[in-house]
Structure 1
Amino acid sequence: MKTAILIIFAFVPLLYPAYGQAVEAELSVRVEQEVLPARAGGTAFAVVDIQIPPGKHIYGNPKGPGTGKPTTVTLDQSPGISLAGARFLPPEKYTAEGEKNFVWIYTGHTRVLVPLEIEGNVIPGDRPVRLMLNTLLCDEKSCMPRTAELALTVRVLPAGSLIPEYPKAEIAKFSVIPGNPAASAHTRSADKVSAGIKFTARYISSGSISGLLQAILFALLAGFLLNFMPCVLPVVSLKVMSLVRHSGEERKVLVRLGLLFSLGILTIFFLLALLALVLGYNWGELFQKRWFLISMIALVFALALSMFGLFSLNIPRFASRLSQERANPYLDSYIKGLLATLLATPCSGPFLGGTLAWSFTQPPAILFAIFISVGAGMAMPYLVLTAFPRLTRFIPRPGNWTVDFERIMAFLLIATDIYLINILTNDMVVPTLSFLGFVSLGLWIYGRFGAITETTVRRIAAFIGLVLIVLGGCLFSFNVVHRGDDAGVTIQSRAFSLEELQKNRDRGRISVVKFTADWCPNCTLVEKTSLYTRKVIDALEARGADLMVADITREHKEAQGLLSELGSRSIPFLAVFPAGEEFDKPYCLRDIYSEDDVLAALDAAARTGK
């Protein structure tokens, strides 16, 4: 059960990867020509037009050495049609304040050329095609992920049909070509800074490796030094304290503890070598994966709560002599070995970079040998302590001070979590903090009602409660709190004003005014679940309704005056103004309204305005 509890909240994000897609209303994305003629065996050229709001930018592809995410265009499965590789216009060079490295960006307006190759055996006729554009929409302070789904039709004509060729001069304008998107992930290569230029690095202190023996020695030393990196220190310090607590045990018990901790270390290094060989992952690259990063944040947070005494991962022992122990030291040693190594991956140290870089140029067997050597070097101190238990006499004997030591280590783990949270994109910080709140609630319930002294029924119930709270918290945090996940939202909206409201009345257009504020959590919830849904958006577009946002995050006299006149002093609040004579009698929804309520208000306004 102990392992299950540790893993359950750490890997819930892995089980729920549906962070969704979204398109901010300000970002306008369309295809310039919705029907593309092409011969069987030929190529059709789609052009994606992107209008970027003032003060914001999206990244180029490639994005450059700085932080960001390249803009991509992908093709949904379409039999007989394949994407030959999107081409981009030349971007601008940009260095954000506080950043050392530059990125390539687009501002204002840009276009993407999307060549679509048609197989020669495709039967003539209209073929529906869906393109997906993924990008980050950024300003000087934050970025939000954006996704646009674009529908078009490829009209396939028989081979030999006469159709206008796409101008070569126009194709030449799209001179930026990313790496081949069809290349297998198994043979990834590093992004090139500039095509056509081959760079040769000159290191001030080379530490060059001349052979396998030297590489193994450097790897052992690099692994040993990882124990002193700030990412790993809290966990390894606790392992040393664990050895101190068991220093009175038989030597074979200490040896097992050391071996299991070392096995945990080697397990992760074996997996890292496998990822490097099969997927081309670099050292620390796992922390670029959002699901992995959130899982590690949750795991470190749970360990910190355990050290603060919020809960204990106690399980019954099977042997009578060991039943007096408060925890299973063997399982504890293995788990701490896993965790210490995972926390080490964002850190680097002396000798590590050059050694790993050399290993990536070698055959698979040597690459595995180097990674395992780094793991062995990291495990070396614990193997020495367990093989020679007398060395533990140099460490103070267990006592009340060890409790204080654990608390200090808990604070260091919280500091580690703060560092890891800082790696997240801005839009994921609040959802992750929300998820950690659910994790702490679930673990408190387990610690309160699932202790070893409780009955089996209560312990099982506490464990089930933990699972449900963590799963529910993950769903809520990354599906509701995460504001960038309004899948399929492409409806345009604009800022509210009484003048524009009256103009819509005169034009015979329905107006929908959404009253909201950044400090209103219920607004976020109800907008996501009841307003920004596919049914409501389709209804708004079908009726030509104008969606206006009355943002009262800060004082907005017009909006607050209208809200008061409509008889409300609170938000969420939605007002649907019909066109025509009954414009002054809007249909209003207050507090937690539903999708059906919005659809009913739109239907009523449409009938009234006739």
Structure 2
Amino acid sequence: MIATSLPRRTAFRLLQRASMALALLAPVPVIAAESTPVTSARVTATLLSSRDAVAPGERFQVALTQKLAPGWHSYWQNPGDSGEATRIEWTLPEGVSAGAIQWPAPKAIRVEPLVNFGFEDHVLLPVEISVPASAKPGETLTLSAKATWLVCEKICIPEDGAFTLDLPIAPAGIVDTAAEARIDQARAALPKPAGFPAKLTAQGEDKLALTLPGLPAGASDVRFFPVLDTLIEHAAEQPLANGALTLTRSTAFKIGTPTTDGVVTFDDSGVKRALALNAEVEPALLQAAAAPAQAPAKVVLPPPPAEDLTLLLALAFAFAGGLILNLMPCVLPVLFIKALGFAQVAQASRGEVRRHGLLFLAGVLATFFALASAVIALGAGWGFQLQSPPLVILLAVLMTLIGFNLIGAFEIGGRLQGVGDGLASRSGPVGAFMTGALAVVVATPCTAPFMGAAMGYALTQPPAAALSIFMALALGFAAPVVALSFAPGLLRLLPKPGRWMIVLKQAFAFPMFATAIWLTWVATMQAGADGALAALVAILVAGFALWLVGVTRGSGRALRAVAAAVAVLLVGATSAFVIESATPSAQPTVQAGTDGPGVWSPARVADLQAQGKPVFVNFTAAWCITCLANDRVALSRQEVKDAFAKLGVAYLKADWTNRDATIAATLTEYGRAGVPLYLFYPGTKGAQAEVLPQLLTPETVVSAAQRAAGK
């Protein structure tokens, strides 16, 4: 009917335009403009987009949303007296860029005696995304973001989430009306430019004056939130008089720029308003510092810190650390195996002995190279592989099987046919190499003196230099065994072969069993009772599988094949069970003030320092034997506990048994690649920590406590 009532050419053009519009719209699927939520008992977070589809060259808004449980809060870009700002790390296609977070005006959240700057209930953090003009319609724009935030009530809990949005690229952008309205509402409430000049000047020795000439005459409940956290005492009152706020200087006051940013909030006739300031700073204040209310305790850092090392010094430290590592308790079980191996080859030719020593060296170097490559590539720390419960369980199984092999329950790689008879067999050289590899694996729970600084330095260097430092550590670790193999005079001191070697070999099984028990305990600390069950089941199945293969060794080919197949199926099923069961469980939370140490976080340290309490932080892990030894020798001693109680020391524990990015970052900050790390913070806000030695004595800890308390 339309075609008959209009000129034919006009009707054709209308039909053509309608068809083109449908063609443009058809390829664009209708998808949600909000990511899958990341939810905890405290926060529900999503990534929200104002567009269902984007166009080439378009700029549009996304926002990280946080819905906070009652009583909990997250933080502004300057968190105030404690806390940590929300951060977003973007992974974007080539040509796509993300702007900075557009921060809403914060609230002053009082947590006596502190004041934090942050958000309660619900907050949107907008970010502008720019799409390149070269983007092609029909393709998909994937926005990936990893956000981290700290959420606090009476305790503080770091949280994070990964968010992904897949937005189709179309010739014209498609607005998500509801999402855009939410983001526009949040952006409309952002602090507006003040539009008047503000100035920060000195007012006596400990006060500042912030003049606000354009503030409305009836403004009330005025508060200034500085972006710089070394400007003012956040908890102090901010009285307003004659158009100027009186602020209290921070005890760590420092400013080095001629202007400073911040936000002023106030009530204007019942309406909450926020203005963004860029205040001019009086020249006399630049780089000035107010005298602290309490002189910080003298901090003595043990030389040399990692940042003062040179490559040559780091290589020397690594070699020395490797030598000392041979004396650490975690390596003792493998030292027994090494001693047995040399006893077996002591009466062989000098060339054979040297070959065993060099094969041990090769095993050490190869394993160190593999671990070092993983540490450098992944940014992990020394001992990182023991943060995997399945690997810990595998090592427990291996130690158990080695123990039963030594005790004579079964033989791996052939029997020892008399003393010296098996030296030419393949098992000898392979055993020497594998002993070196095993020594490295079980050495990783330990950190020796000199070693921590060297490896911390390594992680700040290019890959080639970092790898050379790890190899120097490997050479130091292998040096005693290699030297012994090239010193026939020392080998001749060993007694002649005899029955004593069989007895000694069997005795060496028990350190292996002890190591297996310890590793099972580590798995329990990582994954709870399920971890212990998984370890015990794995040991049972591995032993049964080896017995099944061994007991059918003299049978027909078909029976041996069936036994091998059953063993493989059992091991495969058990491996799946171990991986599923050995999931790290939540670590028990122990608050300061109970019998045990409190749970470490940077915010908790800041809170305690602001209260005037010295803080001792123990960076440890269940798999770190050096840590456990220090705990038994020093930290659990009554004289240390009494000193902590007398001096009011707050004891916090940073448990790295399972991987924790915040702990890893702090270790790197202090030039360490692994635990242990011991820090003593004076009871003065912002004061730097003293780094204690890696091997503790009660006297060392008590003296550090006295220094931190200013005694």
TM-score range, shorter chain: 0.5 to 0.7
Alignment of structure 1 residues 229-308 onto 2, 5 Å: 229-275=328-374, 279=377, 281=379, 283-284=381-382, 286-287=384-385, 291=388, 294-308=390-404
**Partners of 1:367 and 1:219 in 2: CA distance:** 11
CA contact (8 A) 2:542 2:571 kept: no
Cα distance 1:314–1:343, how it changes in 2: closer, same or farther (>3 A)?
A: closer
Cα distance 1:157–1:365, how it changes in 2: closer, same or farther (>3 A)?
A: closer
Cα distance 1:280–1:205, how it changes in 2: closer, same or farther (>3 A)?
A: same
Question: What are the superposed Cα offsets for residues 131-153 of structure 1, whole Å, 9 maximum, x if unpaired?
Answer: 57677999999999986766575
Match for residue 432 of structure 2? Answer: 333
Question: What are the superposed Cα offsets for residues 186-236 of structure 1, whole Å, 9 maximum, x if unpaired?
Answer: xxxxxxxxx999xxx973332887766555443322111011223322223
CA contact (8 A) 1:430 1:482 kept: no
Match for residue 221 of structure 1? Answer: 320
Match for residue 475 of structure 2? Answer: 376
CA contact (8 A) 1:30 1:150 kept: no
Cα distance 1:325–1:352, how it changes in 2: closer, same or farther (>3 A)?
A: same
Alignment of structure 1 residues 81-230 onto 2, 5 Å: 111-122=124-135, 153=167, 167=187, 170=190, 203-206=301-304, 214-230=313-329
**Partners of 2:118 and 2:332 in 1: CA distance:** 39
Instruction: Choose from 569, 575, 586 the match for 1:474.
Output: 575
Question: What are the superposed Cα offsets for residues 522-571 of structure 1, whole Å, 9 maximum, x if unpaired?
Answer: xxxxxxxxxxxxxxxxxxxxxxxxxxxxxxxxxxxxxxxxxxxxxxxxxx
CA contact (8 A) 2:399 2:515 kept: no
Cα distance 1:38–1:351, how it changes in 2: closer, same or farther (>3 A)?
A: same
Cα distance 1:256–1:203, how it changes in 2: closer, same or farther (>3 A)?
A: same
Instruction: Choose from 437, 442, 461 the match for 1:343.
Output: 442
**Partners of 1:342 and 1:58 in 2: CA distance:** 41
What is the CA-CA distance between 1:314 and the residue it aligns to?
A: 1.6
User: Is the partner of 1:121 in helix, strand or coil?
Assistant: coil
What is the CA-CA distance between 1:418 and the residue it aligns to?
A: 2.7
Alignment of structure 1 residues 434-449 onto 2, 5 Å: 434-449=533-548
Match for residue 64 of structure 2? Answer: 48
Match for residue 512 of structure 2? Answer: 409
CA contact (8 A) 1:58 1:71 kept: no
Question: What are the superposed Cα offsets for residues 57-91 of structure 1, whole Å, 9 maximum, x if unpaired?
Answer: 9999999xxxx9x986766x879856667788899
Matched, 1:315 2:413: yes
Match for residue 532 of structure 1? Answer: none
**Partners of 1:444 and 1:402 in 2: CA distance:** 20
CA contact (8 A) 2:531 2:582 kept: no
What is the CA-CA distance between 1:269 and the residue it aligns to?
A: 2.6
CA contact (8 A) 1:22 1:148 kept: no
User: Is the partner of 1:418 in helix, strand or coil?
Assistant: helix
Q: One-letter code of the match for 1:118?
A: V
**Partners of 1:58 and 1:392 in 2: CA distance:** 66
Equivalenced residues, count = 424
What is the CA-CA distance between 1:437 and the residue it aligns to?
A: 4.0
Question: What are the superposed Cα offsets for residues 453-482 of structure 1, whole Å, 9 maximum, x if unpaired?
Answer: 723655554444343333323334445785
Q: Larger radius of gyration, structure 1 or 2?
A: 2
CA contact (8 A) 1:317 1:325 kept: no
Q: One-letter code of the match for 1:121?
A: S
CA contact (8 A) 1:124 1:155 kept: yes
Point out where structure 1 has 5 or more consecutive residues left out of the alignment: 1-20, 94-103, 177-194, 485-610
User: Is the partner of 2:542 in helix, strand or coil?
Assistant: helix
What is the CA-CA distance between 1:253 and the residue it aligns to?
A: 2.8
Alignment of structure 1 residues 491-570 onto 2, 5 Å: none
What is the CA-CA distance between 1:258 and the residue it aligns to?
A: 1.8
What is the CA-CA distance between 1:359 and the residue it aligns to?
A: 4.7
CA contact (8 A) 2:403 2:508 kept: no
CA contact (8 A) 1:31 1:46 kept: yes
Aligned-pair identity in percent equals: 21
Match for residue 512 of structure 1? Answer: none
After superposition, the CA RMSD in angstroms is 5.8
What is the CA-CA distance between 1:386 and the residue it aligns to?
A: 1.8
Q: One-letter code of the match for 1:271?
A: A
Question: What are the superposed Cα offsets for residues 215-271 of structure 1, whole Å, 9 maximum, x if unpaired?
Answer: 544332211101122332222332223322443333333222222111111112333
User: Is the partner of 2:367 in helix, strand or coil?
Assistant: helix
Cα distance 1:126–1:353, how it changes in 2: closer, same or farther (>3 A)?
A: closer
User: Is the partner of 1:349 in helix, strand or coil?
Assistant: coil
Normalization by structure 1: what TM-score?
Answer: 0.53
The worse-fitting range, judged by mean Cα deviation, of 54-63 and 465-474 is 54-63
Match for residue 398 of structure 1? Answer: 501
Cα distance 1:281–1:445, how it changes in 2: closer, same or farther (>3 A)?
A: same
Cα distance 1:336–1:132, how it changes in 2: closer, same or farther (>3 A)?
A: same
Q: One-letter code of the match for 2:57?
A: G
**Partners of 2:50 and 2:93 in 1: CA distance:** 16
**Partners of 2:371 and 2:487 in 1: CA distance:** 30
CA contact (8 A) 1:219 1:373 kept: yes
Q: One-letter code of the match for 2:65?
A: D
Match for residue 519 of structure 1? Answer: none
**Partners of 1:230 and 1:88 in 2: CA distance:** 52
Cα distance 1:212–1:241, how it changes in 2: closer, same or farther (>3 A)?
A: same
User: Is the partner of 2:330 in helix, strand or coil?
Assistant: coil
Match for residue 587 of structure 1? Answer: none
Point out where structure 2 has 5 or more consecutive residues left out of the alignment: 1-35, 110-116, 193-224, 229-254, 258-298, 586-711
What is the CA-CA distance between 1:342 and the residue it aligns to?
A: 2.7
Q: One-letter code of the match for 2:490?
A: L
Q: One-letter code of the match for 1:284?
A: W
Cα distance 1:354–1:78, how it changes in 2: closer, same or farther (>3 A)?
A: closer
More helix by share: 1
CA contact (8 A) 2:534 2:582 kept: no
What is the CA-CA distance between 1:483 and the residue it aligns to?
A: 10
What is the CA-CA distance between 1:121 and the residue it aligns to?
A: 2.7
Q: One-letter code of the match for 1:45?
A: Q
The worse-fitting range, judged by mean Cα deviation, of 403-412 and 205-214 is 205-214
What is the CA-CA distance between 1:362 and the residue it aligns to?
A: 5.9
**Partners of 1:141 and 1:131 in 2: CA distance:** 30
What is the CA-CA distance between 1:154 and the residue it aligns to?
A: 6.8
Normalization by structure 2: what TM-score?
Answer: 0.46
Q: One-letter code of the match for 1:407?
A: F
**Partners of 2:411 and 2:90 in 1: CA distance:** 46
Cα distance 1:361–1:306, how it changes in 2: closer, same or farther (>3 A)?
A: closer
What is the CA-CA distance between 1:22 and the residue it aligns to?
A: 10
What is the CA-CA distance between 1:411 and the residue it aligns to?
A: 0.7
What is the CA-CA distance between 1:272 and the residue it aligns to?
A: 4.3
Cα distance 1:470–1:145, how it changes in 2: closer, same or farther (>3 A)?
A: farther
User: Is the partner of 2:65 in helix, strand or coil?
Assistant: strand
**Partners of 1:52 and 1:390 in 2: CA distance:** 73
CA contact (8 A) 1:283 1:345 kept: no
CA contact (8 A) 1:435 1:474 kept: no
**Partners of 1:74 and 1:144 in 2: CA distance:** 19
